[in-house]
Amino acid sequence: MARQFFVGGNFKMNPNTRKQKEALVEVLNKAQLDSATEVVIAPPSIYLISLKEILRKDIQVAAQNCYFKESGAFTGEISPGQLVDAGIPYVILGHSERRTLFHETSEVVAQKTKAALAASLKVILCIGETLEQREGNQTAEVCQEQLKAVVGVLTEADWSKIVIAYEPVWAIGTGKVATSAQAQAAHADIRSYLSKAVSPAVASATRVIYGGSVTATNCSELATQSDVDGFLVGGASLKPEFVNIINAAK
């Protein structure tokens, strides 16, 4: 079965005002979007509910993070159940900025993934290697290590609720995009690992999307690769060109 193309917009800690948030939504609400593509945008948590209320209904909303506990004394955190209660269907977990700046280990990401799925959220699970690791030919190994922690805590059925975002750290926000051959090779390795570690059926059904300096200029070529099932877009998701990226499906 063909995998549905998926485009996510990760706004990160942007925009700075509610007015700017409304302007971003207005561009998307007026745009002609490929109805065959699943589109999800992830604003900062303070805007999740208000943005969802004004956003067209064929675009879904994701949180950029959540905790693995349901409630309690965890200052500053949001639980998976709270997101579900607010009508938010997706959460991004394991983004490299969370792993690097906020010291989230693969084990913590796995715990969060398990808790999110248990609360019936869907997860955009980010993995990817640093420049040093790529130069040391460790790309496949690093991605496998990051996935392994998650594989260990999920059932085979859980994978239907997961989109894997391969985001090489050296390409994030740097303007240095992976070549389509580099993206294809990494995605094929991820699929082959899933086939061995979970099942061939999960490997062939799971969407593996690419993230890291995706723009309207480079998205079309990346989208032609057989194992690239869409994109997770940061900087360019805050610009009108996001519409072109959404419409980049092969």
Q: Which residues are tagged catalytic? A: 95, 167
Binds ligand G2H by CB under 6 A, chosen from 233, 243, 245, 248: 233
State which residue, 116 or 126, has the beta carbon closest to ligand G2H.
126
The residue with its CB nearest to ligand G2H is 234
Binds ligand G2H by CB under 6 A, chosen from 38, 158, 167, 229: 167
Reading the block at residue 135, the tokens are 């130069």
Distances (CA, A) of 208 to 1, 48, 53, 126, 156: 15, 25, 29, 10, 16
Contact range with ligand G2H by CB under 6 A, out of 68-76, 100-108, 207-215, 220-228: 207-215
Residues 6+ apart with CB under 8 A from 80: 66, 67, 68, 70, 91, 115, 116, 118, 119, 121
State which residue, 52 or 98, has the beta carbon closest to ligand G2H.
98
Q: Give which of 232, 244, 229, 245 is closest to 2, Cα–Cα.
A: 229
State which residue, 25 or 42, has the beta carbon closest to ligand G2H.
42
Reading the block at residue 124, the tokens are 């955009």
Reading the block at residue 118, the tokens are 């248990």
Binds ligand G2H by CB under 6 A, chosen from 81, 94, 212, 230: 212
State which residue, 52 or 99, has the beta carbon closest to ligand G2H.
99
Binding residues for ligand G2H restricted to 8-47, rule: CB under 6 A: 10
* CA atoms within 13 Å, Cβ hemisphere of 27: 15
183 vs 218: CA distance, rounded Å: 12
Which amino acid is residue 1, in one-letter code?
M
Residues 6+ apart with CB under 8 A from 217: none
Contact range with ligand G2H by CB under 6 A, out of 54-62, 81-89, 110-118, 227-235: 227-235
Reading the block at residue 243, the tokens are 């519409």
36 vs 51: CA distance, rounded Å: 23
Contact range with ligand G2H by CB under 6 A, out of 72-80, 99-107, 138-146, 230-238: 230-238
Contact range with ligand G2H by CB under 6 A, out of 131-139, 154-162, 167-175, 192-200: 167-175
Q: List Cβ<8 Å contacts ≥24 apart for 44-49.
A: 44/11, 44/12, 44/13, 44/14, 45/78, 47/18, 47/21, 48/83, 48/86, 48/88, 49/86, 49/87
State which residue, 123 or 202, has the beta carbon closest to ligand G2H.
123
Q: Does 213 bind ligand G2H (CB under 6 A)?
A: yes
Question: How near is the Cβ of 76 to ligand G2H at its closest, in Å?
Answer: 21
Question: How near is the Cβ of 163 to ligand G2H at its closest, in Å?
Answer: 12
Binds ligand G2H by CB under 6 A, chosen from 88, 190, 216, 232: 232
Chain positions contacting ligand G2H, by CB under 6 A = 10, 167, 172-173, 211-214, 232-236
